[in-house]
Amino acid sequence: MTEPVSDADLEVCAAEPIHVPGTIQPHGVLLGLDPATLAVVRTSANTEALLGRPAEAVLGAHLAELLEAVPLADVAAPDLTLVNPLALHLADGRPVEGVLSRSGGLLVLELEPVAPDDEGFDTSYLRIRSLLQRLQGAGDLEELVAATAGEVRRLTGFDRVMVYRFDPEWNGEVVAEDRREDLEPFLGLWYPASDIPPQARDLYAATWLRLIASVDYVPAPILPSATGLDGAPLDLGDTVLRSVSPVHLEYLRNMGVAASMSISIKHGGRLWGLVACHHQDRAHRPPYRVRAVAELVGQLVSTLLPGVEETGSHERSMATGVARGRIADALATGGTDPLKVLEGIADDVLALAGADGAAVRAGGRTLLLGRTPGPDEVAAVVRAARAGATDEVVAVDSLGDEALKDVASGVAVAPVGAGGEQWVAWFRPELLRDVSWGGDPRQKVVKEGERISPRLSFARWTETVRLRSRPWEARELEGAAWFGRHLADVLLRESVARAEVIDTVQRTLLLEALPKVPGVELAARYVPGEGDAVGGDWYDVFWLPGGRIAVAVGDVAGHGLGSAPAMAQLRHGLRAYLLKEDDPGAALDRLDELVRHLLPDDLASLVVADLDPATGRMRVANAGHLPPVLVRGGVGELLATARGPALGVVPGFGYGHADLQLDPGDALLLFTDGLVERRREGIDVSLERLRSAASALPPDLEDACDAVLSMAPGSDDVTLLALRRA
């Protein structure tokens, strides 16, 4: 009768002190020597077979009585790992292998017989050199683990050699296998974390190799007690004969394994995996010199791992590199708005982290690329994934939101600059994955009566993993981090460059200084907008014949800073036509022609006025522009007369002008839509607010401009030109 065990039972199992078993495997003899005298003060009970005398007769004997010659230099070596194994001979001349270690104040000498068939194991220099070369020649992880399995099997002669890789939760997957042909393949199978309990993993991380020569061995106790000279239980963690947990032996027996060996593979100080060697049906004990080479293989593979994991799958690594190159190119040459540039190279942004969708949050805007949660959900998903960690790359492959699983079962977030406000997130959909376990992982351990046993069945058991995305690989997260850093640099450079361009635009298209006009006060303001909104506004003030002055404010729609050439042509065209035509309406007719022929893709609006400062006579013409505000006798009014369509809209429209009289103290305000345009409010309401403000302007014209400007909503360019008759 078996029943599933409780977590409490598993804890008992996990707490088993496997490094102090108090017994050894009986295929060799363990001697505990007093390091000062080399007298035997501890011995395993099984001395009869190898040494030809009972344990009682070994205890108290001097090492010299047991061996033909005592390796005095070796036992005194500071680093015993450098002298192992020792080629020794027993008192009767038979060869044995000796392995030295220290524990509990004792010098520990383990002796293993040299079997006649040991000569079949080739550990010659040439053999080892070619073995190591084959491992070093592996181009990627897959090749490395495959070579490892093959080479270790050829070296050690086990029936089955597997490379077993741990996932972050310590479940293990068989990633490579070399086996006797008649054995069932284990490649691709998963084993639950509980198959190798934590203290076993600790031991595996601390040592390189463990051997169980026969799973059916009868443990040999250590006499007179399994303690060190300090009286504490003897730590056998560094010994090679150390006995293993009976649960582990039963686990192996249940698998049909008769002998087993494991070699650790470590990566960055952590246990990465194991080379697991199994022998079926009979005991198997490669000599120590072979195990030493196998240990060397484990160490070499551990050294090679970081390199091959980085190159990883070569093609994907190439794809990432290509994507990085294209992104960097596009951002360097694609214009002033990085988000717009990224929209055009969405595939590369997605490829960088191997995602189906991405969101870029920068400059107060969010750009969505590919398959993502909705605009309102993205920020919440990112917030949940980051959980406060806003200055590092965060990756989650199990967001667990059923509603979003098809777009965002996994998310990786990279910060853009400091502060946490700007970021890039990549999204991955649920990836239904079948995992083949080596037996039902829920049946980790069974309890028979009062005894805990490992599970009995290792039959392939497949389960489907849900609500998980493909996991994020280190290389993909590096790509994400790179993108975040690069975008931060670009944004910074862009803001500096934009400031410079705005400065240039202002200096070339706007005026460095307004002309001094006797009898007229003039004031102008230009405030650049944000992101795409910058550019398009222009104004001009210039002298006309007869002492008159012309003022104009215009707007070219939709190109941002790319509008600069059109703005320049309009401004120069207006100057030329006004000089020639002596009528603002006629000048607009000519300018309309110019737009249709030379600027067919532009929509331009413009309001122009000319004023005789001496008389106050003024003419105003308007091509599709917002009405100027006229302040007469301290009262503002919208100047809605003499209005025609924007330039380029109606061929041959025939613009007219309005004649006005500007008395001393009266003012005219020309402006662009950035001053009044609001998304949540009709333009009439905004214009009325402006008109009403114009009725209560401060006496100083500069102050008046500031007061009016303070009403601007502030995302678009704002241009304001004010003139007042003194």
Partner 1 sequence: MRVERDGGRSIVRVLGELDIATAPQLAEALVEAAGGGAAVVVDLTATTFLDSSGLRTMVMAARDAERFVLVCPPENSTVLRVITFAGFQHAVPLVATVDEADASG
Q: Would you tell me which residues interact with partner 1 (CB under 8 A)? A: 532-533, 536, 555, 557-558, 601-603, 605, 623-627, 643-646, 648-650, 653, 673, 677, 679, 681-684, 716
Helix (H, G, I), strand (E, B) or coil at 229: coil
d(Cα 64, Cα 68) in Å, to the nearest integer? 7
d(Cα 97, Cα 121) in Å, to the nearest integer? 15
* CB closer to partner 1 out of 381 and 647: 647
**Least distance CB 643 / partner 1 (angstroms):** 7
Q: Are 306 and 140 in contact (CB under 8 A)?
A: no
* CB closer to partner 1 out of 45 and 646: 646
**Least distance CB 685 / partner 1 (angstroms):** 9
Residue 567 one-letter amino acid: M
Q: Are 585 and 655 in contact (CB under 8 A)?
A: yes
* CB closer to partner 1 out of 516 and 680: 680
d(Cα 106, Cα 90) in Å, to the nearest integer? 21
**Least distance CB 533 / partner 1 (angstroms):** 7
Look-up of token digits 């400031």: 499
d(Cα 93, Cα 87) in Å, to the nearest integer? 12
Q: Are 177 and 186 in contact (CB under 8 A)?
A: yes
**Least distance CB 639 / partner 1 (angstroms):** 12
* CB closer to partner 1 out of 327 and 339: 339
* CB closer to partner 1 out of 461 and 653: 653
CA-based nearest residue to 66, from 34, 36, 88, 42: 88
Question: Does a cis peptide bond (omega within 30 degrees of 0) precede residue 224?
Answer: yes
* CB closer to partner 1 out of 19 and 691: 691
Helix (H, G, I), strand (E, B) or coil at 654: coil
Q: Are 190 and 201 in contact (CB under 8 A)?
A: no
**Least distance CB 535 / partner 1 (angstroms):** 11
**Least distance CB 645 / partner 1 (angstroms):** 3
* CB closer to partner 1 out of 5 and 367: 367
**Least distance CB 560 / partner 1 (angstroms):** 8
**Least distance CB 484 / partner 1 (angstroms):** 24
According to DSSP H, which parts of 76-124 are helical? none
The terminus-to-terminus CA distance of the chain in angstroms comes to 109
State the number of CA atoms in the 13 A half-sphere of 712 facing the CB.
23
Q: Are 556 and 570 in contact (CB under 8 A)?
A: yes
* CB closer to partner 1 out of 651 and 664: 651
**Least distance CB 340 / partner 1 (angstroms):** 10
**Least distance CB 603 / partner 1 (angstroms):** 4
Residue 64 one-letter amino acid: A
**Least distance CB 457 / partner 1 (angstroms):** 59
CA-based nearest residue to 213, from 259, 265, 179, 148: 259
Strand partners, 426: 358, 412
Q: Are 445 and 452 in contact (CB under 8 A)?
A: yes
* CB closer to partner 1 out of 424 and 626: 626
* CB closer to partner 1 out of 56 and 681: 681
Strand partners, 609: 551, 620
* CB closer to partner 1 out of 454 and 627: 627
* CB closer to partner 1 out of 235 and 602: 602
User: CB burial class (10 A; 0-12, 13-18, 19+) of residue 177?
Assistant: buried
CA-based nearest residue to 252, from 188, 163, 191, 187: 191
d(Cα 279, Cα 438) in Å, to the nearest integer? 18
* CB closer to partner 1 out of 172 and 554: 554
Give the H/E segment covering residue 367: strand 365-370
**Least distance CB 275 / partner 1 (angstroms):** 58
Q: Are 725 and 663 in contact (CB under 8 A)?
A: yes
Number of helices (H), then strands (E), in the chain: 19, 34
Between the CA atoms of 630, 635, 640 and 646, what dihedral angle is there, to the nearest 10 degrees? Answer: 40
